Amino acid sequence: MIFSGTLNSEGHLEFGGADVTLLAESFGTPLYVLDEEAIRRNCRSYVQTFQKQYPNSETVYAGKAFLSKAICRILEQEGLGLDVVSGGELYTALQAGFPASRVVFHGNNKSADELSLALENRVGRIVVDNFYELSLLGSLASRKGVQPVIHLRLTPGVKPSTHTYVQTGQVDSKFGFGVADPHLIPSIRGILAEGRLNLVGVHCHIGSQIFQQESYNVTIRIMMEFLKKLHDQGIILAELNLGGGLGIAYTSDESPPAIAEHVSLLVQGVRREAERLRIPLPRLLDEPGRSIVGPSGIALYRVGGSKEISGKRKYIFVDGSMADNPRVALYGARYEAVLANRAQDPPEETVTVAGKCCESGDILIWDASLPVARPGDLLAVFCTGAYHYAMASNYNRLPRPAVVLVNKGQPELIIRRETYEDLVRNDLIPERLNHGSLPPEGAFPLFLPLDGGG
Ligand code: LLP
Residue 130 lies in a domain: yes
232 and 370, same domain (yes or no): no
Q: Which domain holds residue 344?
A: 6-30+297-384+401-417
In terms of Cβ atoms closer than 10 Å to its own Cβ (0-12, 13-18, 19+), residue 250 is buried
Supply the residue whose CA is at minimum distance from atom 7 of ligand 1.
208
Mean pLDDT of 46-71: 98
Residue among 287, 324, 389 whose CB has most ligand 1 atoms within 8 A, to mutate: 287
Domain match, 196 and 162 both: yes
Is the residue at 167 inside a domain? yes
DSSP SS3 for 19: strand
Domain membership flag for residue 445: no
Q: Is the pLDDT of residue 441 over 80?
A: no
Looking at the structure, tell me whether residues 11 and 134 fall in a common domain: no
| Number of domains within the chain | 2
Q: Which amino acid is at 234?
A: G
CA-atom Rg of the chain in angstroms = 25
The candidate with the shortest Cα–Cα distance to 79, out of 104, 54, 106, 98, is 98
Q: What angle do CA 374, 382, 387 make, to 5 degrees?
A: 120
| Nearest alpha carbon to residue 156 among 191, 205, 83 | 205
Same domain, 366 and 278: no
Do residues 10 and 99 share a domain? no
pLDDT in tens, 66-96: 999 999 999 999 999 999 999 999 999 999 9
pLDDT in the model for residue 216: 96
Residue 204 is a catalytic residue: no
CA of 184 to the centre of ligand 1 (A): 25
pLDDT of residue 167: 85
Q: Which residue, by CA, sits nearest to atom 20 of ligand 1? A: 208
> Which residues does ligand 1 sit against, CB inside 6 Å?
62, 64-65, 83, 106, 166, 205, 208-209, 243-246, 287-291, 327, 331, 387
- Model pTM? 0.96
pLDDT over 90 percentage in the chain: 91
Q: Are residues 102 and 150 in the same domain?
A: yes
Model pLDDT, residue 172: 85
Structure confidence by residue, pLDDT tens digits, 249-296: 999 999 999 999 999 999 999 999 999 999 999 999 999 999 999 999
Give a yes or no: residue 116 inside a domain. Answer: yes
For residue 111, the domain's CATH number is: 3.20.20.10
Under the banding of pLDDT at 50, 70 and 90, the label for residue 10 is very high
Which CATH number is 15's domain given? 2.40.37.10
Residue nearest to atom 9 of ligand 1 (CA): 244
